[in-house]
Every structure is written in structure tokens, then in C-alpha cells.
Amino acid sequence: MERGVDEPFGDVMPHPRLLVFPVDGTLTKMRPLRYSINVTLDGCCDHRAGFSDEELHRRAADSLAEADALLFGRVTYEMMEAAFRSPTGTDPFARTIDAAKKYVVSSTLDRVDWNAELVRGDLGEAVQKLKQQPGKGLFVGGVKLPLALAELGLIDEYEFVVHPTLAGHGPTLFAGLSKRIDLKLVSRLEYGSGAVAMRYEPRR
């Protein structure tokens, strides 16, 4: 079953790549790994280049709530922790990210304690093991870690929230990607601000 461009994500037949056949022959579904990033019209993914409002924050919180756990690299983890740990207000995004289970990919951190667990060793093997655990899905943010995961073919859904802004500078998404990845549009949502959220799946 294929979702139309304007249809929400729901209970649909998973892509064959998300099905696992253990040795006993039982069919299980892997957790999808979803990537979401804000980006300007000219491709800048610096988080300071875009803008935010209540509608975008609420949508971001809803996206996080679709996942059982968040996957971050060190830089993104430390930035998010500094901004959103133990929020005192009622911002749904802050409260959602604060409470979420987190996995942090880092070879330099000795410990993490914001409801988080370090991920070490082979990145591909570690993420595959996380995807094989039961649940709704995993969410990855940032820039460098998603590049590595895209190279490994481990991202199952890409969401680009495109802001109607021209930054005139970088950094840009997936700079240095060694191979072309073709995507299929599966949903599109326009906001009152003029931002547009587009979700894609890799063409297999």
C-alpha cells in the first residue's frame, strides 16, 4: 500500500527492508529510523538560520513523539541538553525531548546522564541492533551523524522542513555524500509561516 502525498503516516504495510526474518521464521517489523532537519531555501542547515513559531514547535514535538528514542551525535546531544534539559515552562517540544530516551554516538564522551546511553563500536551494527528492538521508531537529528547513516543506507524516512529564507551561507546538508540517494515524496505539509515539511522515503 502506498501513501498519497498528502496522507498522514499511519498503519501501512512496512517496506520489505523493515521486515526481519529470525531463525525461527517469525516475521517481525524493524523500527524505522526517521531523520528530520530544518533547512533554508538555499540549503543552509544551521539551526540559527531559520525561524520558529508555536506551530512549528508543536509539529516538531509531534514528530519526536512518533519515536521511542532519539539518536544524536555528541554535538547535537550537548546542544539539545543545554537548551532543553529540565524545562520549567510548558513548551511541548522541550518537555517531549527532555523526557525522551536518547542514544548518543560518541567516542569522546565518557558518560551521559540525560536519560541517555552511549553508543560505541561499529556504527552500522549498533544502529541495526537498535532498529531491531520493538517499538514505533527511532528519530535522528543533527548533520554529521545523519550523513554517516545515509552512507550506510540506514535512514528509512527523511523529513525536510524548508523555511522561506535565504541564508547565503552554509553548512549544507549531506556535504560529502559519496553516492546519490533517490527519494520518493510521501507527504507534504504547509505551515502558516510559509515553511513546508516534506517527507521522503528512499527508492529501493
Chain mean position to CA 76: 12
Whole-prediction pTM value? 0.83
Give the residue numbers spanning the domain of 155. Answer: 23-202
Q: Considering the domain boundaries, does residue 193 fall inside one?
A: yes
The answer to whether residue 49 is domain-embedded is yes
- The one-letter amino acid at 173: L
Q: Is residue 45 part of a domain?
A: yes
The 3-state DSSP class for residue 9 equals: coil
Whether 82 is in a domain gets the answer yes
Nearest to 55 by CA among 190, 198, 200: 190
Q: State residue 87's pLDDT score.
A: 87
Looking up cell 500500500 gives 1
Could you tell me if residue 18 is inside a domain?
Answer: no
Which among 105, 99, 113, 53 has a CA at the least distance from the CA of 76? 105
- What pLDDT does 28 receive? 59
Buried b (16+ CB within 10 A) or exposed e, 48-74: ebbeeeeebeebbbebbeebbbbbbbb
Going residue by residue through the chain, which has 204 residues, state the pLDDT in tens, using 9 for 90 and above: 333 333 333 333 345 455 444 445 554 578 999 999 999 999 999 988 988 888 998 888 888 888 999 999 999 999 999 999 988 888 888 899 999 999 999 999 999 999 999 999 999 999 999 999 999 999 999 999 999 999 999 999 999 999 999 999 999 999 999 999 999 999 999 999 999 999 999 998
User: For the chain, how many structural domains are there in total?
Assistant: 1
pLDDT for the residue 54: 86
Q: Is residue 16 part of a domain?
A: no
Tell me the CATH number at 88.
3.40.430.10
**How confident is the model at residue 26, as a pLDDT?**
52
What pLDDT, on the 0 to 100 scale, is given for residue 37? 94
